[in-house]
């Protein structure tokens, strides 16, 4: 069962400048940063709030580390802006299977490792009214890592 909006992914050209905008404008602080070599992105997670299921909601700012990455290609075609929405779930495997059974294409055969050690998969945007959708099972996060 999907329990919350885990994060909104925002593609950007300059991660540091984008982080500074969200910090100066809204007061959001960086909770976690990392480079995901497999996905070809440098990212910052800005925590917005805690949720009743023990998770949190974030803005995920994504800067491509290479032009041929999925985010790099998307950014070249669309410019900066909302890249995807992610829903939190306690069981990414089970929810992905149930959604696949309803005719929605799941992009990964098996969930992959995502931000902060989470398990993730994506749903095809053409099956989700044009929205790239991510399913996320969060790893236990006890304290921020930068």
Which residues are annotated as catalytic?
7, 43, 60, 84, 134
SS3 state of residue 52: coil
CA distance 26 to 14: 18
Which secondary structure element, helix H or strand E, spans residue 6, and what is its range? strand 2-11
Which secondary structure element, helix H or strand E, spans residue 123, and what is its range? strand 119-123
With beta carbons less than 8 A apart as the criterion, state whether 125 and 141 touch.
no
Which ranges of 36-83 does DSSP label H, i.e. alpha helix? 70-78
Instruction: Give, in degrees to the nearest 5, the angle at Cα 62 between 47 and 10.
Output: 70
């Amino acid at each position: 069962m999907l329990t919350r909006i885990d994060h909104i992914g925002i593609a950007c050209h300059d991660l540091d400048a984008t982080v500074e905008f969200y910090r100066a404008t809204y007061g959001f602080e960086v909770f976690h940063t990392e480079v995901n070599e497999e996905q070809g992105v440098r990212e910052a997670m800005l925590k917005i709030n805690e949720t009743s299921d023990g998770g949190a909601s974030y803005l995920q700012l994504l800067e491509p580390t290479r032009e041929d990455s999925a985010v790099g290609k998307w950014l070249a075609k669309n410019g900066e802006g909302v890249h995807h929405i992610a829903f939190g779930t306690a069981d990414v495997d089970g929810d992905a299977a149930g959604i696949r059974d309803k005719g929605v294409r799941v992009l990964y055969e098996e969930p992959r490792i995502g931000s902060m050690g989470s398990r993730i998969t994506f749903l095809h945007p053409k099956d989700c009214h044009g929205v790239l959708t991510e399913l996320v099972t969060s790893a236990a996060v006890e304290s921020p890592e930068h």
